[in-house]
């Protein structure tokens, strides 16, 4: 299994090794070049001193050794010269070693000298008293070469110590940085034990999307569980009356069977079947589903409206008003939208006198829906109550009081907003908004955040 700590450690070692090599070797090379330039100026000054010691004699030029530094007379002193003015003069310190005279300026490489020395040599050609004079002046560079070698080894040692120290510091920093992940892991460990899944949001910026998604998932799971429990309770409560009626009718039919009792029993059994279908649909509500089909207004809405016309009569006018952009696909699951719109429109059709109006607007922020009817409307004090499960304002109207409660559950599942008000036609108007940004970004975030 790949370890983030191991990968970061290997990356740090490689970076520091490259840094030590480049900076160490580059620093020594730059210092060597600077020192050679400094010694070159020293050798030029020595050359000037030697040329000043050349004197015009009666017959030819001669070198006045009394004007030469004593180091040139001490064997293997590390300072040497050769002068060729027709007659060749050599420093006594050079003994039998030779210096090149075939260059103009500093020699590119070190020259082997006496006693295994490495010499830095400056050569030049000059005019002295009208005569051409070739000179070479050298200085022992071997001690500096040894010093550079020692410095190189010291740099390697310091580099290794720096790498080791950096690895220790990095492990400590990683331990501190990963503490929020350990806390998240401990919080997640309590979820299977029945604790509420709500992670602390006091985490680094990089972990905020992950924690937000996990908290969102926990809320969705809780909503699904709550809907499932509510659906079971609603189903059990709603089945009591039809079962009691069916039992009573069966008892009556046992002693005096007739067609009216059997038809009544069939009606009650059909009611039970409808309640069971509705409960199964409510248990299916899961806005985070990945494999479901998206809702297409142009294809699904006409079919839904035709079904409602068949149920409530062709004389009822169902007016659909879709703004541009809302006529195609919606970024929501098809079954959820059919459930939501079906309950909204079915409730409006039950109470409408002549007309029901559906308006839809789809924008970047989300989907806005409005369903209005021309029925008697709902008093302001009762508008919150009708969203409760099983609440019915008029027992004479067919229904189980679950339609608007399911709409409310769906809106909460999508983290939307729901509002009830009086319509312009005098009846009830239900406005809701479902945010689309969260739905549209959720799949992209799942791909990006892992990177």
Q: How far apart are the first and last CA of the chain?
A: 17
User: What are the pLDDT tens digits along the chain (451 aa)?
Assistant: 567 778 888 888 899 889 888 888 888 899 999 999 999 999 999 999 988 888 887 778 888 888 888 888 888 899 999 998 888 888 888 888 888 887 788 888 888 888 889 999 999 988 888 888 899 999 999 999 999 999 889 988 998 898 899 889 988 888 888 788 787 777 777 666 556 667 777 777 777 787 888 878 877 777 777 777 666 666 665 666 566 666 666 666 665 555 566 666 666 666 666 666 666 555 555 444 444 578 888 888 888 888 788 778 888 889 889 888 788 888 888 878 888 888 889 888 888 888 999 999 998 888 999 999 988 888 777 777 777 654 444 444 444 445 677 788 888 888 888 888 888 888 889 999 999 744 433 333 333 333 3
Q: Which of 252, 271, 276, 272 is nearest to 262 (CA)?
A: 252
What CATH number does residue 99 fall under? 3.30.450
What CATH number does residue 371 fall under? 3.30.565.10
Q: Is residue 160 part of a domain?
A: no
Would you state the pLDDT for residue 277?
Answer: 62
Q: Is residue 404 part of a domain?
A: yes
Would you state the pLDDT for residue 400?
Answer: 44
Last residue of a domain, one of 147, 175, 200: 147
Q: Is residue 157 part of a domain?
A: no
Q: Is residue 180 part of a domain?
A: no
Last residue of a domain, one of 147, 174, 203: 147
d(CA 259, CA 231): 34
Phi-psi region of 105 (alpha: psi -120 to 50; beta: other; left: phi over 0): left
CB-CB contact of 72 with 91 (8 Å): yes
Q: What is the token pair recorded at 257? A: 């069977």
Would you state the pLDDT for residue 369?
Answer: 92
Domain that holds residue 387: 293-451
Q: Is residue 445 part of a domain?
A: yes
Alpha helices in 256-358 (DSSP H): 259-284, 297-312, 334-351
DSSP readout, 10-42? HHHHHHHHHHHHHHHHHHHHHHHHHHHHHHHHH
Q: Is residue 184 part of a domain?
A: no
Q: Is residue 251 part of a domain?
A: no
Would you state the pLDDT for residue 165?
Answer: 92
Q: Which of 357, 330, 22 is nearest to 159 (CA)?
A: 22
Structural domain total, the chain: 2
Q: Is residue 241 part of a domain?
A: no
């Amino acid at each position: 299994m790949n370890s983030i700590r191991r990968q970061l450690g290997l990356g740090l070692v490689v970076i520091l090794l490259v840094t030590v090599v480049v900076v160490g070797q580059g620093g020594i090379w730059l210092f060597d070049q600077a020192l050679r330039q400094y010694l070159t100026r020293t050798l030029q000054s020595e050359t000037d001193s030697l040329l000043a010691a050349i004197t015009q004699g009666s017959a030819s030029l001669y070198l006045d050794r009394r004007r030469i530094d004593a180091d040139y007379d001490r064997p293997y002193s590390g300072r040497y010269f050769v002068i060729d003015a027709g007659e060749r003069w050599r420093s006594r310190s050079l003994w039998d070693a030779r210096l090149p005279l075939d260059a103009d300026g500093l020699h590119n490489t070190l020259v082997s000298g006496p006693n295994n020395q490495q010499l830095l040599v400056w050569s030049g050609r000059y005019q002295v008293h009208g005569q051409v004079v070739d000179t070479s002046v050298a200085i022992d560079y071997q001690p500096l070469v040894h010093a550079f070698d020692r410095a190189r080894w010291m740099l390697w040692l310091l580099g290794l110590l720096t790498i080791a120290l950096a690895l220790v510091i990095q492990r400590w920093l990683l331990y501190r940085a990963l503490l929020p992940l350990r806390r998240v892991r401990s919080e997640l460990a309590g979820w299977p034990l029945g604790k509420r899944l709500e992670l602390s949001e006091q985490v680094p910026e990089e972990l905020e999307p992950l924690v937000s998604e996990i908290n969102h998932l926990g809320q969705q799971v809780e909503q699904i569980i709550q809907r499932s429990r509510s659906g079971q309770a609603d189903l059990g409560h709603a089945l009591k009356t039809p079962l009691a009626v069916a039992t009573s009718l069966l008892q009556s039919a046992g002693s005096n069977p007739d067609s009216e009792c059997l038809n009544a029993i069939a009606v009650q059994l059909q009611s039970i079947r409808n309640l069971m279908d509705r409960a199964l649909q409510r248990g299916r509500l899961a806005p985070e589903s990945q494999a479901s089909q998206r809702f297409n207004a142009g294809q699904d809405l006409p079919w839904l409206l035709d079904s409602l016309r068949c149920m409530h009569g062709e004389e009822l006018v169902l007016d659909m008003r879709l703004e541009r952009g809302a006529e195609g696909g919606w970024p929501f699951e098809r079954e959820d939208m059919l459930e939501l719109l079906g309950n909204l429109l079915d409730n409006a059709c039950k109470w409408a006198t002549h007309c029901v109006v559906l308006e839809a607007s789809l924008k970047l922020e989300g989907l806005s829906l409005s369903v209005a009817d021309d029925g008697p409307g709902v008093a302001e004090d009762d508008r919150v109550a009708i969203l409760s499960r099983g609440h019915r304002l008029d027992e004479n109207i067919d229904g189980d009081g679950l339609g608007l409660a399911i709409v409310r559950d769906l809106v909460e599942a999508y983290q939307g907003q729901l509002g009830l008000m009086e319509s312009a036609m005098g009846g009830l108007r239900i406005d809701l908004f479902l945010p689309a940004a969260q739905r549209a970004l959720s799949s992209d975030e799942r791909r990006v955040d892992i990177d």
